[in-house]
């Protein structure tokens, strides 16, 4: 692509302040050639793992492509991990090299990000090496034993066909402009950036998600497609005057990453039209996917999609298949596949059936038409008075209140109930119609929407919830300290 369109823009990096920096295909190609040689001099070769521990930035993207050109497997990690947590992840990953500005790293040399300028290294092409494997992603490092997901298969793609049948379903094509609001250490940012570039799209890469800035970029660059997690779409939907903004360039808006409150889905369907809004269910493990467009969602409100080139099963604790509508553990397998598409580094084994279906720890059900619905993650479920309460359902109800900016629901120890449903809520700075709601106001709001046992028994208010740049909430930490 650098040879075909050397001066065309491959991606535009947008700082949190809104400053833009264009990177051409020629620049990306030549800069990553220099970095590949630099990494080779630091012992990186075929089969090595390279950690990139940097914020979203031009050097981060160049580092990834340089590592791939050296034959390495790239593992992006949060640049702001505390020393104890990052060392636990590195002990599992066993990288050959860490690129970033960490200090006191044990077990791997660190290449400072400033060295990626690679001054003095030639920019001419390097010999072709196809990484095997090419991509890894970290998950659950903050709440349990760190897991490194390694995606099997070669790091090869055909330009213009990088997203396969799922891309066709979403209407992706060469020449589109795609906004990437997620961090590169998260599967959404990491995978979508690469799929987009391999698919000959122009990428708009945000340093950090800011709802108002994301809407501005859609208008300014005539963005055609983007994917966002729940909190991103929710905050964009509440940008003042969003109904009057020009979103006509959007050909697809894809939601994934968590259950989506119905009001958010309906607002986006109103904003872009049902044919241009999509919901999905997938994972960092890439074990399979479900997809549906807005037309299907309106027919099956709340669905996260229908298995797409994927077989889905919902099993009980004994491993037996459950009937439509019954909640159990979700297992997926790509159609026609007998082996899994991923493995975990280290001693952790994936939870699989004998015939190759993988579980990601989520609970849900299939309806009579085969559409998948999520309940919650098994580890997040609250058992209160013997009844199962799914935090995502309560959070969705809270999010409908116009003064609620963000909400988390956890189970706290309770002598009577075993666990009590507890809500932690971030409110707007000013009420939309007067005074801000009290805890009892929010409980009344929930009673109008939920069964009595699901209504939070206690509510606390906070200035902000601890979400990562990917929108991920550390619910277990909230439950431990609430």
Q: What is the DSSP letter of 258?
A: S
* Range of the structural domain that residue 415 is part of: 381-481
CA-nearest of 78, 93, 407, 79 to 259 is 407
Dump pLDDT digits (tens) for 45-83: 999 999 999 999 999 999 999 999 999 999 999 898 878
Q: Tell me, yes or no, whether 267 and 366 share the same domain.
A: yes
Q: Would you say residue 190 lies in a domain? A: no
Q: What is the DSSP letter of 323?
A: P
Contact yes or no for 78/89 (Cβ under 8 A): no
Q: Tell me, yes or no, whether 270 and 372 share the same domain.
A: yes
CATH code where residue 282 lies: 2.30.38.10
Q: Tell me, yes or no, whether 337 and 417 share the same domain.
A: no
Q: What is the pLDDT of residue 347?
A: 52
Q: Would you say residue 305 lies in a domain? A: yes
Q: Tell me, yes or no, whether 364 and 263 share the same domain.
A: yes
Q: Tell me, yes or no, whether 391 and 374 share the same domain.
A: no
CA-nearest of 6, 309, 339, 428 to 153 is 339
Q: Would you say residue 441 lies in a domain? A: yes
3-state secondary structure (DSSP) of residue 89? helix
Q: What is the pLDDT of residue 320?
A: 92
Domain count, the chain: 2
- For the residues of 179-211, what is the DSSP string, one character each? EE-S-TTSHHHHHHHHHHHHTTPEEEEESS--H
- The pair of structure tokens assigned to 452 is 């009595």
How much of the chain is helix, strand and coil, in % rounded to 5?
30, 30, 45
Dump pLDDT digits (tens) for 338-391: 666 667 666 566 677 888 788 877 889 999 999 999 886 666 778 787 677 878
Domain C-terminal end among 326, 349, 378? 378
State the Cα–Cα distance between residues 255 and 246, nearest whole angstrom: 20
Q: Would you say residue 434 lies in a domain? A: yes
Q: Tell me, yes or no, whether 360 and 263 share the same domain.
A: yes
Listed in order, strand segments (DSSP E) in 92-232 are 97-100, 110-111, 135-139, 147-151, 177-180, 202-206, 225-228
Contact yes or no for 291/278 (Cβ under 8 A): yes
Q: Tell me, yes or no, whether 332 and 402 share the same domain.
A: no
CATH code where residue 432 lies: 3.30.300.30
Q: What is the pLDDT of residue 143?
A: 36
Q: Would you say residue 450 lies in a domain? A: yes
Does residue 17 have a cis bond before it (omega within 30 degrees)? Answer: no
Helices (H), 18-105: 25-40, 58-69, 83-93
Q: Tell me, yes or no, whether 421 and 316 share the same domain.
A: no
Q: Would you say residue 361 lies in a domain? A: yes
Domain C-terminal end among 327, 346, 378? 378
Q: Tell me, yes or no, whether 298 and 388 share the same domain.
A: no
Q: Tell me, yes or no, whether 342 and 393 share the same domain.
A: no
Q: Tell me, yes or no, whether 297 and 394 share the same domain.
A: no
Contact yes or no for 407/392 (Cβ under 8 A): no
**Phi and psi, residue 359, nearest 5°:** -105, 145
Q: Tell me, yes or no, whether 390 and 340 share the same domain.
A: no
CA-nearest of 153, 145, 227, 214 to 186 is 227
Question: Could you read off the pLDDT tens digit of each residue along the chain, which spans 482 residues?
Answer: 899 999 999 999 999 999 999 999 999 999 999 999 999 999 999 999 999 999 999 999 999 999 999 999 999 998 988 787 788 889 889 999 999 999 888 889 999 999 999 888 999 999 999 999 999 988 753 334 567 888 888 888 776 565 678 888 888 888 899 999 999 988 889 989 998 898 889 999 999 999 999 999 999 999 999 999 888 898 899 999 999 999 999 999 999 866 788 999 999 999 999 999 999 998 777 788 999 999 999 999 999 999 999 999 999 988 899 999 999 999 998 887 766 666 766 656 667 788 878 887 788 999 999 999 988 666 677 878 767 787 888 898 899 899 999 999 998 988 777 789 999 999 998 877 778 999 999 999 999 888 788 899 999 999 999 887 667 776 655 754 33
Q: Would you say residue 296 lies in a domain? A: yes
Q: Would you say residue 152 lies in a domain? A: no
CA-nearest of 478, 475, 469 to 229 is 469
- In the beta sheet, which residues pair with residue 180? 205
């Amino acid at each position: 692509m650098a040879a075909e369109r050397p001066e065309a823009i491959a991606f535009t990096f947008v700082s949190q302040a809104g400053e833009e920096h264009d990177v051409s295909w020629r620049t990306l190609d030549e800069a990553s050639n220099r970095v590949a040689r630099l990494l080779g001099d630091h012992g990186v070769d075929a089969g090595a793992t390279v950690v990139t521990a940097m914020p979203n930035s031009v050097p981060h993207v160049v580092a990834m492509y340089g590592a791939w050109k050296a034959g390495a497997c790239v593992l992006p990690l949060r640049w702001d991990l505390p020393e104890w947590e990052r060392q636990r992840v590195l002990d599992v990953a066993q990288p050959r090299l860490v690129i970033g500005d960490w200090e006191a790293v044990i077990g791997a040399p660190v290449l400072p990000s400033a060295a990626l300028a690679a001054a003095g290294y030639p920019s001419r092409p390097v010999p072709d090496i196809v990484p095997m494997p090419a991509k890894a992603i970290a998950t659950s490092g903050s709440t349990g034993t760190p897991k490194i997901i390694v995606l099997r298969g070669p790091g090869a793609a055909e330009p213009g066909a990088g997203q396969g049948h799922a891309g066709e379903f979403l209407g992706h094509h060469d020449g589109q402009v795609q906004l990437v609001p997620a961090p590169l250490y998260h599967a959404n940012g990491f995978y979508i950036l690469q799929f987009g570039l391999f698919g000959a799209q122009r990428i708009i890469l945000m340093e950090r998600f800011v709802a108002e800035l994301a809407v501005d970029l859609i208008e300014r660059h005539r963005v055609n497609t983007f994917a966002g997690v729940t909190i991103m779409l929710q905050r964009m939907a509440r940008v003042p005057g969003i109904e009057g903004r020009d979103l006509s360039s959007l050909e697809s808006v894809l939601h994934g990453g968590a259950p989506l409150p119905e009001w958010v889905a309906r607002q986006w369907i109103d904003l872009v039209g049902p044919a241009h809004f999509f919901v999905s269910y997938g994972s960092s493990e890439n074990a399979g996917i479900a997809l549906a467009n807005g037309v299907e969602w309106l027919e099956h409100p709340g669905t996260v999609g229908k298995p797409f080139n994927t077989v889905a099963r919902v099993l009980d604790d004994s491993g037996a298949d459950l009937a439509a509508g019954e909640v159990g553990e979700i297992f997926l397998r790509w159609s026609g596949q007998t082996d899994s598409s991923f493995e975990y580094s280290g001693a952790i084994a994936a939870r699989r059936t004998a015939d190759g279906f993988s579980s990601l720890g989520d609970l849900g059900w299939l309806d009579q038409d085969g559409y998948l619905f999520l309940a919650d993650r098994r580890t997040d479920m609250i058992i209160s008075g013997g009844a199962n309460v799914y935090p995502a359902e309560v959070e969705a109800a809270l999010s409908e209140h116009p003064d609620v900016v963000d909400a988390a629901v956890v189970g706290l120890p309770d002598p009577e109930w075993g666990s009590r449903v507890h809500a932690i809520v971030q409110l707007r700075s000013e009420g939309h119609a007067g005074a801000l709601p009290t805890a009892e106001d929010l409980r009344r709001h929930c009673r109008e929407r939920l069964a009595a046992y699901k209504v939070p028994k206690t509510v606390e208010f906070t200035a902000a919830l601890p979400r990562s740049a990917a929108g991920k909430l550390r619910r277990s930490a909230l439950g431990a300290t609430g």
